[in-house]
Amino acid sequence: MRRTVKIFALILLYFLACGKSCDNDEQSNVQREQEKITAETDSLQLAFGADTLSSSSLLAYLETAKQKFYDFNDYLRIVTDTSIAGPFRDKTREMIRNLFITGAEPAKNINPFRLDSVGIKETFHRINDSVYEGSLDFTYRSLRRSDKFINSSQETETITIYLIKRDKNFGKKKLWVWNVFLGKIE
């Protein structure tokens, strides 16, 4: 029996001597988290902050521009719907302003429309180190506030789109990433 107690005590002593301390584990967890954050930041920089963009990246940003234009149309419906609360409509107006490049925001009295299609007129081409420009064609039907058609004929217009590299906050760091903005409707 004494021998069993001694063996058990030695095994217990071995586990205590070889086990990791609590402080080490916390420090290594913090270090692992920091490494993880750094890796995520680096991957974001590689994906969204490249100096030159591949054709597949430019096509992806064109799709983003199309989606932003669809969002713009949805936001217009919210802004002109008087049954929706004022603060919600005000926030939607702010969201519309954020979709557009500075100085190209649509007039306040623009009416909502029904989009029939949105297509690429001109793919993005580089203007300078931090700006690409392109354009989308869209066909639409005008709507009254009661969502009835003013005319049944389709109209086609063009909107300029921009891909601009700007700094964006990621925690304590600022990264230069590409952002899509809508421009003037012509």
Domain assignment present for 91: yes
The domain that holds 106 is classified in CATH as 3.10.450
Closest listed residue to residue 93, CA positions, set 112, 111, 72 = 72
For the segment 31-52, the average pLDDT, to the nearest whole number, is 65
Task: Give pTM, 2 decimals.
Answer: 0.70
Burial label, 112 (beta-carbon count in 10 A; 0-12, 13-18, 19+): buried
Domain count, the chain: 1
Q: Domain limits at 91?
A: 50-185
Q: Please tell me the predicted confidence (pLDDT) of residue 21.
A: 61
Domain assignment present for 14: no
Domain assignment present for 13: no
103: left (phi over 0), alpha (psi -120 to 50) or beta: left
pLDDT digits (tens, 9 = 90+) for 115-160: 888 999 999 999 998 899 999 999 988 765 555 555 557 789 999 9
